[in-house]
């Protein structure tokens, strides 16, 4: 079974703080993704990575950065948290090379920025 | 511009009846379609998929139908059970071989199955 874990289920931070969200997958997947989910807006892609040290902007990268130093780990960084970054953050991973592009998701981190 | 549209934010059905969730897409390059199910406070889980070379794929109580000419797909759940109550996301991607493509998600439909 694929397992994607996220470092925290719930997080409360203050405006201006630097926030790190960690994601680890154990299936040797090449692709990793960060999404945020907001009511009425669905899943929106923030950043993705298809290899170590590689990253691509998604649909809403502003205010975020990412780091992928090891294949199994993909970090999302909020350089200076703001209240509009309060959201559910979801990490996912997928295998490259198969026709199927199924992404496997972690349980999510609910972030509240005060 | 929304490339994957789920026009019904919510749907309510009685236990034992059929649930039909709809999804439309605009990008003719999309060749592979997936449905994900999400419970509150959990990550989405893959439910069922379909390639554009098929018009139907079935897995137990879940069937996905694809009408490529209409750029429309639907997920049928028969019979619906209270445990099916969740948000369902439709997703699409160009089919690739050896590449990596992003999934494009719809906004989701919240299904409530009443006992």
Tens of pLDDT, residues B42-72: 899 999 999 889 999 999 999 999 999 999 9
If you count residue pairs, one on A and one on B, with CB atoms under 8 Å apart, how many are there?
65
Report whether pLDDT(A16) > 80.
Answer: yes
Cβ contacts (< 8 Å) between A50 and chain B: which residues? 100
Residue A3, min C-alpha distance to chain B (Å)? 12
B48–chain A Cβ distance below 8 A for any pair = no
Cβ contacts (< 8 Å) between B42 and chain A: which residues? 107-108
Report the pLDDT value the prediction gives residue A65, as an integer from 0 to 100: 97
**What is the rounded average pLDDT of the residues B80-84?**
97
Residue A56 pLDDT grade (very low, low, confident, very high; cuts 50, 70, 90): very high
What backbone phi and psi angles, to 5 degrees, belong to A77?
A: -125, 125
**Looking at chain B, how many residues does it have?**
115
**What is the rounded average pLDDT of the residues B30-50?**
92
Report the pLDDT value the prediction gives residue B98, as an integer from 0 to 100: 45
What's the rounded Cα separation, in Å, for the pair A34 and A18? 17
Most B-contacting residue of A4, A33, A42 (CB-CB within 10 A), to test interface: A42
Cβ contacts (< 8 Å) between A94 and chain B: which residues? 100
What's the rounded Cα separation, in Å, for the pair A83 and A96? 35
Closest-CA residue to A38 (of A60, A67, A14): A60
Report the pLDDT value the prediction gives residue B48, as an integer from 0 to 100: 94
Residue A101 pLDDT grade (very low, low, confident, very high; cuts 50, 70, 90): low
Q: pLDDT averaged over chain B?
A: 91
Residue B103 pLDDT grade (very low, low, confident, very high; cuts 50, 70, 90): confident
């Amino acid at each position: 079974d694929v397992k994607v874990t996220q470092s925290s289920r719930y997080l409360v931070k203050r405006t201006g703080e630097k926030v790190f969200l960690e994601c680890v997958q154990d299936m040797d997947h090449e692709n990793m993704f960060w999404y945020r989910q907001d009511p009425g807006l669905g899943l929106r892609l923030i950043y993705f990575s298809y290899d170590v040290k590689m990253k691509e902007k998604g649909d809403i990268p502003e205010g975020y950065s990412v780091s992928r130093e090891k294949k199994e780990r993909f970090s999302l960084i909020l350089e200076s948290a703001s209240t509009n970054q309060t959201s559910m953050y979801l990490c996912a991973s997928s295998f490259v090379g198969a026709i199927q592009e199924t992404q496997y998701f972690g349980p999510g981190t609910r972030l509240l920025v005060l | 511009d929304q490339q994957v549209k789920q026009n019904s934010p919510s749907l309510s059905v009685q236990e034992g009846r059929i649930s039909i969730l709809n999804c439309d897409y605009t990008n003719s390059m999309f060749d592979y379609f997936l449905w994900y199910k999400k419970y509150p406070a959990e990550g989405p889980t893959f439910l069922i998929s379909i390639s554009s070379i098929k018009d139907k794929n079935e897995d137990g109580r879940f069937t996905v139908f694809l009408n490529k000419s209409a750029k429309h797909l639907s997920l049928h759940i028969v019979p619906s059970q209270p445990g099916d109550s969740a948000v369902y996301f439709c997703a699409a991607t160009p089919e690739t071989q050896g590449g990596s493509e992003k999934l494009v998600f719809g906004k989701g439909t919240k299904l409530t199955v009443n006992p």
